[in-house]
């Protein structure tokens, strides 16, 4: 009688090769997971101590009566801290707590609601751990990133993900568009705001700023290069300088007939709705109903384009603005002035 139950019946060269291949794949997967884990651990140990809790409002004993709560990142040995402007708001009382439980008061050096960034300085004499800002222009989609912060008040929380997209635009609390924003799937929650988004090199490449409610895995961070510009302006001037002309408007389509008659290719422009009295726009004789289509050689396809064009490089310069007025193209000289800084 033949015995078909032998343990060696399936032990063939091909099955042994398949088992060996599976073991190799498992070993490779384990190595990849270990490398991923080690990268996150390394970043957390290097940058985590520089992350602080940012608490605003008067001191209270009852935690339920606490004011605003967010995160921040110390970026210099003398206690400069980057966070979000919506975290500090207009608060005059700000306290920081590091990962070792050290508390210190802080004061606002400057805020920039247009990029949702604020710069603080810790008042305590103790040396704080700090992190370095990296170059966000070197980021690539799919790159590993780590977010560290205090979501919902849970201190020193770490989440990891990837760079989902680069060059995004989101609307700030002030209504202006924040450009060059990083999209990530690293989980963020209220309280993460102002905390760092960190590369695998341990460099801060973004300041976490926003989540989309109801959407899983869609979170945003202001790029570190934007943060570097903002903090430099605040250190130099106390605020970020931008040009001002004194108009309110909205993005609107350019009627095809008007575009053809004027010889322009714009399909959209910035429709001027209001002109502030005694403003550069009023002095230039701009009128409600004008449609701006070009400023200083830059094509204007909407209000956001006009806002972007009015940066600090155009303060106190006479510029040419092309507008459509009643179907006719007009070139108007306008002299932007420096915009008043945001009130703190």
- The pLDDT score that the predictor gives to residue 335 is 98
Is the pLDDT at 4 greater than 80, yes or no? no
With a cut of 80, say whether residue 159 has pLDDT above it: yes
Confidence band for 259, pLDDT divided at 50, 70 and 90: confident
- Of 98, 112, 114, 116, which one is the catalytic site residue? 116
Using 50, 70 and 90 to split pLDDT, how confident is the model at 5? low
> Tokens 């004027």 belong to which residue?
262
| Mean pLDDT, range 287-301, rounded to an integer | 95
Q: How many residues does the chain have?
A: 344
Helices (H) and strands (E) in the chain, counts: 6, 20
Question: Which of the residue ranges 102-106, 128-132, 208-212 would you say has the lowest mean pLDDT?
Answer: 208-212
**Whole-angstrom distance, CA of residue 207 vs CA of residue 193:** 8
65 DSSP 8-state letter: G
* pLDDT score of 62: 47
Distance CA 313, CA 315 (A): 6
**Exactly one of 71, 85, 86, 258 is catalytic; which is it?**
86
**pLDDT reported for residue 344:** 55
Q: What is the pLDDT of residues 301-343, one digit of tens each?
A: 998 899 889 999 999 999 999 999 988 999 999 999 999 876 6
Q: Average pLDDT for residues 73-87, to the nearest whole number?
A: 95
Whether pLDDT at 63 is above 50: no
Alpha helices (H) along 267-325: 280-283, 303-309
Q: Is the dihedral of CA 138, 139, 144, 150 positive or negative?
A: positive
156-167 mean pLDDT: 93
- Is residue 262 within 8 A of residue 331, CB to CB? The reply is no
- Pairing mode of beta strands 69-74, 103-112: unpaired
Q: Residue 65 — very low, low, confident or very high, per pLDDT cuts 50/70/90?
A: very low
Q: How far apart, in whole angstroms, are the C-alpha atoms of residue 4 and residue 130?
A: 69
pLDDT at res. 27 = 67
* CA pair distance 66, 62, nearest whole angstrom: 7
Taken in order of first residue, the domains within the chain and their CATH numbers are: 136-237 (2.40.10.10), 243-338 (2.30.42.10)
The helix (H) or strand (E) run that includes residue 229 is helix 224-237
The answer on pLDDT for 124 being more than 60 is yes
| pLDDT tens sequence across 15-48 | 766 676 676 666 677 778 888 889 999 999 999 9
Helix, strand, coil shares, percent, the chain, to 5: 25, 35, 40
Backbone torsions φ then ψ of 62, nearest 5 degrees: -85, 120
pLDDT digits (tens, 9 = 90+) for 195-241: 999 999 999 999 999 776 666 678 999 999 999 999 999 999 999 99
Percent of the chain at pLDDT above 90?
62
Q: Which of 231, 238, 191 is CA-nearest to residue 75? A: 231
Residue 177 has a pLDDT of 82
**Marked catalytic residue, from 193, 199, 224, 279:** 193
pLDDT at 7 over 70: no
Query: Is 116 one of the annotated active-site residues of the chain?
Result: yes
Q: Is 193 a catalytic residue?
A: yes
Cβ atoms of 223 and 180 closer than 8 Å: yes
Neighbours of 332 (CB within 10 A): 17
| Among 124-133, 164-173, 265-274, the range of highest mean pLDDT | 265-274
pLDDT given at position 110: 95
> Any catalytic annotation for residue 86?
yes
Residue 13 has pLDDT above 80, yes or no: no
Nearest to 208 by CA among 242, 161, 138: 161
319 vs 2, which has greater pLDDT?
A: 319
Distance CA 102, CA 108 (A): 19
């Amino acid at each position: 009688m033949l015995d078909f139950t032998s343990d060696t019946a399936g032990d063939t060269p091909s099955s042994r090769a398949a088992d060996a291949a599976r073991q190799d794949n498992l070993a490779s997967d384990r190595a990849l997971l270990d490398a991923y884990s080690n990268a996150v651990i390394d970043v957390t140990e290097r940058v985590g101590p520089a992350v602080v809790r940012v608490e605003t409002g008067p001191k209270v004993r009852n935690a339920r009566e606490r004011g605003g709560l967010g995160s921040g990142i110390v970026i210099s040995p003398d206690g400069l801290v980057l966070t979000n402007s919506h975290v500090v708001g207009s608060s005059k009382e700000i306290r920081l707590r590091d990962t070792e439980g050290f508390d210190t008061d802080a004061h606002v050096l400057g805020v920039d609601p247009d990029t949702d960034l604020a710069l603080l300085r810790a008042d305590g004499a103790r040396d704080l751990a700090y992190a370095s800002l990296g170059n966000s222009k070197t980021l690539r989609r799919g790159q590993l990133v780590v977010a560290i912060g205090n979501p919902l008040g849970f201190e020193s929380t770490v989440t990891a993900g990837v760079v989902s997209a680069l060059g995004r635009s989101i609307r700030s609390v002030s209504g202006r568009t924040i450009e060059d924003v990083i999209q990530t799937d690293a989980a963020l929650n209220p309280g993460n705001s102002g905390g760092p988004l960190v590369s695998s090199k341990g460099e801060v490449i973004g300041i976490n700023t926003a989540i989309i409610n109801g959407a899983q895995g869609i979170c945003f961070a202001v790029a570190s290069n934007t943060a570097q510009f903002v903090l430099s302006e605040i250190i130099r001037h106390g605020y970020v300088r931008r040009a001002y002309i004194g108009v309110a408007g909205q993005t609107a389509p350019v009627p095809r007939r008007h575009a053809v008659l004027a010889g322009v290719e714009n399909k959209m422009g910035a429709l001027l709705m209001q002109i502030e009295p005694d403003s550069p726009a009023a002095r230039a004789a701009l009128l409600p109903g004008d449609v701006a289509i070009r400023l200083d050689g830059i094509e204007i396809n909407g209000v956001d384009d006009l806002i972007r064009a009015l940066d600090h490089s155009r303060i106190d310069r006479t510029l040419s603005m092309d507008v459509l007025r009643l179907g006719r193209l007009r070139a108007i000289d306008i002299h932007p002035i420096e915009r008043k800084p945001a009130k703190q």
